Structure 1
């Protein structure tokens, strides 16, 4: 099976829940990191993104009610590089990032998710799976567009925004 081939609605729901759960955890982690680094603006945005992902997770859980979903451990997403494209890596957040950067990161996540769900829609032989994937792709695209509008309220960072003459040191 490739990343774009999902054999059933339950498999699509299970994989979507796994991805959303990972996103919630990652946004929570980023928010914690920004709080520790005294970057309250980025922390607040990551908390807001975490809440949005939690809401989306609840919707998918409701769609899954009454179904027996297969357990998909995080290390076995089986979506090729999906975990790397739909979920930003630990190094994606910079302690000096601005709201512009935070929203750009989230926009990239939503674009990757929309692309993935479109691939799933095209690769699925199951009409119900195609319809659901199309719906998920549309939702991700709409949220990306909303984030883009929200980002427009923040200035584009100047070159050198990440230069710090006294960077934090990690103690071992």
Structure 2
């Protein structure tokens, strides 16, 4: 991953990360609603709102319109999905809020580490400062999710036992 050359490069990539997180959290909420898991769906919707706030903040700071396209080019991340994106395969239809928060925590920690790495390798002071600011915002989210985790009970080991599992017919 090469160092970014401009603030616009950094912010366009940050915008792509945040938009991908918004999209994924909303998709996960839809999945949880489909499986009548309203409590986890609501939590994922709340996370999507937080990420959407970041999208709006970036657009406002940069003076960009809502329809600006943020490319994923430039080697910002090497994984198929952005650092802040929760993977579909980590989600279970019977998961509890505790599980959703653990996934959100992992995503926020990945984003924090990602921006920390960008700050350390920044090509200019202004890019370093912007990346540090984004890292610090992600650190605030990490702290918020950890505080939420302390308020929800950890599920029993048998949380995934389904007395009426889905049946698949070929």
State the match for 1:72 in structure 2.
71
State the match for 1:125 in structure 2.
123
Q: Distance in 1 between matches of 2:41 and 2:101?
A: 12
Measure how far apart 1:157 and its partner are: 1.3
Measure how far apart 1:50 and its partner are: 0.8
SS in 2 for 1:83: coil
Answer yes or no: is the 8 Å Cα contact 2:43–2:97 preserved in 1: yes
45, 48, 55: which one pairs with 2:46?
A: 48
Deviations 1:104-152 (A, max 9, x none): 1111111000000000001111111100100000110111111111111
Measure how far apart 1:88 and its partner are: 1.4
SS in 1 for 2:154: coil
Measure how far apart 1:84 and its partner are: 5.3
Deviations 1:7-27 (A, max 9, x none): 211111000000111111100
Answer yes or no: is the 8 Å Cα contact 1:26–1:88 preserved in 2: yes
37, 54, 57: which one pairs with 2:55?
A: 57
SS in 2 for 1:91: helix
Q: Distance in 2 between matches of 1:94 and 1:72?
A: 31
Measure how far apart 1:169 and its partner are: 3.7
Deviations 1:73-104 (A, max 9, x none): 5xx46211272542111212211111111111
155, 158, 161: which one pairs with 1:160?
A: 158
Measure how far apart 1:51 and its partner are: 0.8
Kindly report which structure 2 residues correspond to 1:1-172, keeping only aligned pairs within 5 A, or say none.
2=1, 5-65=3-63, 71-73=70-72, 76=73, 78=75, 79-81=77-79, 83=81, 85-169=83-167
Q: TM-score, normalised by structure 1?
A: 0.89
Q: Runs of 5+ in structure 1 lacking a partner?
A: none
SS in 2 for 1:7: coil
Q: Whose RCO is larger (CA < 8 A, sep 6+)?
A: 1
